[in-house]
């Protein structure tokens, strides 16, 4: 991951509502959650939610798909894993085993993420 990609992801997460959205989508799993459901759960007006979802999507941290008349958002687990790996790659003077961070090879299921 390039530094500018990491900065984009970190900037997107450096806001309370976006962090709450992202954490909710991580918990929701690969199936994601509808925008309406997210708005209701976080008590966020739809226009505000839309703005925050676009910022997370622009940073590559979430994906969007249409299901009938709903927009479904999901965490982009590969991007999340890449960002975490970028942050941890120089951990403990090049000895990441000390930090006990070992991302799985396939982090498509929340339970498989390190």
pLDDT tens figures, 15-74: 999 999 999 999 999 999 999 999 999 999 999 999 999 999 999 999 999 999 999 999
pLDDT of 10 higher than 50? yes
pLDDT: is 113 or 99 the higher one?
99
User: Comparing C-alpha atoms, which of 83, 24, 88 is closest to residue 53?
Assistant: 24
pLDDT at 40: 96
Average pLDDT over residues 85-102: 73
Rounded to 5°, angle at Cα 12 from 11 and 17: 125
Rounded to 5°, angle at Cα 18 from 70 and 34: 15
Note the residue count of the chain.
114
């Amino acid at each position: 991951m390039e530094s500018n990609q990491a900065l984009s992801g970190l900037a997107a997460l450096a806001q309370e509502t976006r962090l709450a959205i992202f954490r909710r989508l991580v918990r929701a799993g690969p199936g994601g959650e509808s925008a309406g459901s997210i708005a209701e759960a976080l008590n966020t007006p739809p226009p505000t939610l839309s703005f925050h979802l676009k910022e997370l999507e622009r940073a590559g941290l979430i994906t969007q798909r249409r299901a009938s008349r709903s927009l479904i958002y999901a965490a982009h687990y590969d991007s999340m894993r890449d960002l975490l790996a970028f942050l941890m790659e120089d951990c403990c003077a090049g000895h990441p085993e000390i930090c006990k961070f070992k991302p799985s090879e396939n982090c498509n299921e929340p339970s498989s993420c390190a």
